[in-house]
Amino acid sequence: MNISIIGSGYVGLVTGACFAELGNKVICADNDTEKISDLKKGVIPIYEPGLEELVANNLKRKRLRFTTSIKEAVKESEIIFIAVGTPSLGNGEADLTGIENVARQIAINMSSYRLIAEKSTVPVETGEWVKHTISTHVKRNVKFDVASNPEFLREGCAINDFMHPDRIVIGVESKKARDILLSLYKPLHAPIVITNIKSAELIKHASNAFLATKISFINAVSNICDKVGAQITEVAEGMGLDKRIGSSFLNAGVGYGGSCFPKDLDAFITISEKLGYNFELLKAVKDINEQQKACVLGKLKDALWIIKDKTIGVLGLSFKPSTDDIRNAPSLDIIKALEAEGANIKVYDPQAMAKARSMLKNAKFCKDPYQACKDADCLLIVTEWDEFKELDFTRVKKLLKRPLIIDGRNIYDPKKLSKLGFIYIGIGRSEK
């Protein structure tokens, strides 16, 4: 099939590369000329395992093309995916300027039937506005369909998630749109949920909000564990084996971050409010997430008393492992709070340091985890990168000024570290 994807961010780029890999002819469009010129040379603006190879391979086979021209993309494709950003406005509302602009440009450049599918995460009823915008600007007699086809891929395992999804959601209003999307996704052999456009839009917001709720729930329980001396990892295991609950997304930690959960929660709360519903549950989910970051500072104060002039070695900047993305990363809030208390920060991350440098001007960026440990009063784990799980603890102990580890992601075995002479403090794992 001939497909274009408008917007070459995380979702757009992965979607484009994967559709090309499945044998389609794909045009990825973006108005960022520098990004497109890099992509044409196979230079990928983000760190995502396997993406560079996938793009290079499909560029070579001429199944994937990059352009800055929406006109060219619309002219040559029957299906057009909108995958532009929907960032948060100051009031939490999703900024849909990009979506409106793209919808208008698609309409102006359409001369025969096109299926326009929303890929970006959008508030419910955006499809209505996209339809209205296209109808207003399209030439008379040119037919089109709008569909909602939300994406559920995660950063760090985006290609695998795209190629092996738990489900594909298709929100459509016509048999033609339904048939086109069904045949496009046939090679993935995944369960397909067909709904109307509004339900599909809601499935995306509700799924992300539910996952964030699971995380805040387990983080809230971890606070109770800390107070009584129960073990959150055991509690989560015992809960997760109940098939109705499920064991994933029950890892307590320093809170969720990233470009999706915080923004989507805000947008879902705001659209609910606009529709006349006060989504208090999600407001509590947000509050708990903020408290969780503050809780790390509390643990440091309990262990070190005065933070001023103490050196803290921080491992991990990205909002989760296998990505260089630091958008809404808990690390940034935690480091800024520590710096505000007068701490000296030494930090290491395998991928995210380049992106973080301009945001953390006072921190010392280290070449490896051991340099971050040297002469530190405490080692703080913020992101659970695999390489942090296999540190040489004898070396770490020698380098640290005091053998204190605050494990913000519960990656270590507390007993093992205590045996090695460390004071170990995890999340929801205190001994009473």
Instruction: Give the catalytic positions in this structure.
Output: 260
Q: Which residues pair with 311 in a beta bridge?
A: 344
Q: Which is nearer to ligand UGA, 91 or 248 (CB)?
A: 248
Q: Which residues does 63 contact at the CB level (< 8 Å), separation at least 6?
A: 20, 21, 23, 24, 25, 26
Q: How far apart are CA 38 and CA 285, in angstroms?
A: 39
Question: Of the candidates 9, 123, 171, 253, which one interacts with ligand UGA according to CB under 6 A?
Answer: 253
Hey, what are 105's tokens? 């440009």
Our finding on whether 47 is near ligand UGA (CB under 6 A) is no
Our finding on whether 257 is near ligand UGA (CB under 6 A) is yes
Our finding on whether 260 is near ligand UGA (CB under 6 A) is yes
Q: Which is nearer to ligand UGA, 16 or 403 (CB)?
A: 16
Q: Which is nearer to ligand UGA, 123 or 258 (CB)?
A: 258
Q: How far apart are CA 374 and CA 367, in angstroms?
A: 12
Q: Which is nearer to ligand UGA, 260 or 411 (CB)?
A: 260
Our finding on whether 153 is near ligand UGA (CB under 6 A) is yes
State residue 114 phi and psi, 5-degree precision: -140, 145
Measure CA of the first residue to CA of the last residue in the chain; give whole Å.
62
Q: Which among 92, 40, 110, 386 has a CA at the least distance from the CA of 263? A: 92
Our finding on whether 81 is near ligand UGA (CB under 6 A) is no
Q: Which residues pair with 82 in a beta bridge?
A: 6, 118
Our finding on whether 376 is near ligand UGA (CB under 6 A) is no
Question: Of the candidates 47, 66, 144, 152, which one interacts with ligand UGA according to CB under 6 A?
Answer: 152
Q: DSSP states of 26-64 as a string?
A: EEEE-S-HHHHHHHHTT--SS--TTHHHHHHHHHHTTSE
Q: Which is nearer to ligand UGA, 257 or 403 (CB)?
A: 257
Binding mask 191-230 for ligand UGA (x = CB under 6 A): -----------------x--x---x---------------
Which of positions 305-364 make contact with ligand UGA (CB under 6 A)? Answer: 319-320
Question: Of the candidates 19, 81, 162, 256, which one interacts with ligand UGA according to CB under 6 A?
Answer: 256
Size of site (CB under 6 A) for ligand UGA = 20
Q: How far apart are CA 181 and CA 151, in angstroms?
A: 13
Hey, what are 30's tokens? 């973006």
Q: Which among 235, 206, 239 has a CA at the least distance from the CA of 222? A: 235
Binding mask 117-146 for ligand UGA (x = CB under 6 A): ----x-------------------------
Question: Of the candidates 21, 30, 48, 151, which one interacts with ligand UGA according to CB under 6 A?
Answer: 151
Our finding on whether 388 is near ligand UGA (CB under 6 A) is no
Question: Of the candidates 48, 118, 155, 407, which one interacts with ligand UGA according to CB under 6 A?
Answer: 155
Is residue 62 packed enough to be buried (19+ CB in 10 Å), middle (13-18) or exposed (0-12)? exposed
Minimum gap (Å) between residue 320 Cβ and ligand UGA: 4
Is residue 349 within 8 A of residue 316, CB to CB? The reply is yes
Residues that bind ligand UGA (CB under 6 A): 121, 151-155, 208, 211, 215, 249-251, 253, 256-258, 260-261, 319-320
